[in-house]
Amino acid sequence: MASTPTREVARRVFAREFNDATYTFKESDDDRAPVYALLPTGQRANRVFIVGTLTETEDVGEDSEYWQGRVVDPNGDTFFTYAGQYQPDAASMLRELEPPEYVAVVGKPRTYETDDGEVNVSVRPESINRVDETTRDRWVVEAAERTVERIQSFQGDGVDEYAEMARERYDQPVENYRRIVGDILESLDPQQAEAGTA
């Protein structure tokens, strides 16, 4: 029986770590092989699930519509999303939404090297949906739990190939991300944080 390809799990990640994930790779030479971003905490991500405040939208396209959205997480760090003719649903959401609004975005990480050698990381959205504050807070708690799990795995004994790769590629200590998790959870109202874990 042929197995149907399954979609990759969308990783929950805060903007600081996502923006540090400047290394991408494929696991095969096939043209259609998925492209993965390597998270500094040692996990590969072909898709991400982010929730935050959409603070700004702008049509940055020259010949056709190409929408940029800035989504800020509770720590004040920014995810950049870009959607054009190949992501019509996401592009029309960015066109219609009126910031500031809470949004949930599922999409693929993309990297772009600037002329001066900097690598910028962005999300190419598959979907963008308006959400409420409770949903945002629940996502914060889940993203915090996933981040801590990745850090513990990264620092554990049985380190896997992606953690090894992250150690070779990045020089930032993963403890920085643990601090971010602490700061973000402190910013939540305790009752909301509890509701998020229920």
What digits encode the pLDDT tens for the residues 13-48? 999 999 999 999 988 888 888 899 999 999 999 999
> What is the value of pTM for the model shown?
0.87
What digits encode the pLDDT tens for the residues 62-85? 888 899 999 999 889 999 999 999
CA nearest to 144, candidates 176, 167, 166, 177: 177
pLDDT band at 190; cut points 50, 70, 90: low
CATH fold, domain 10-197, is OB fold (Dihydrolipoamide Acetyltransferase, E2P) (2.40.50)
Task: Give dist(CA 29, CA 26) in Å, integer.
Answer: 7
Domain-wise residue ranges, the chain: 10-197
Do the bridges between strand 78-83 and strand 47-59 make them parallel or antiparallel, or are there none, so unpaired? unpaired
CB 147 within 8 A of CB 43: no
What digits encode the pLDDT tens for the residues 52-63? 999 999 999 888
Has residue 166 got a pLDDT over 80?
A: yes
Instruction: Say what the pLDDT of residue 2 is.
Output: 47
CA nearest to 169, candidates 4, 40, 79: 40
Mean pLDDT of the chain: 88
Task: Give dist(CA 81, CA 93) in Å, integer.
Answer: 12
Has residue 192 got a pLDDT over 80?
A: no
* Residue, of 8 and 101, whose pLDDT is higher: 101
What digits encode the pLDDT tens for the residues 108-159? 999 998 888 888 999 999 999 999 999 999 999 999 999 999 999 898 876 7
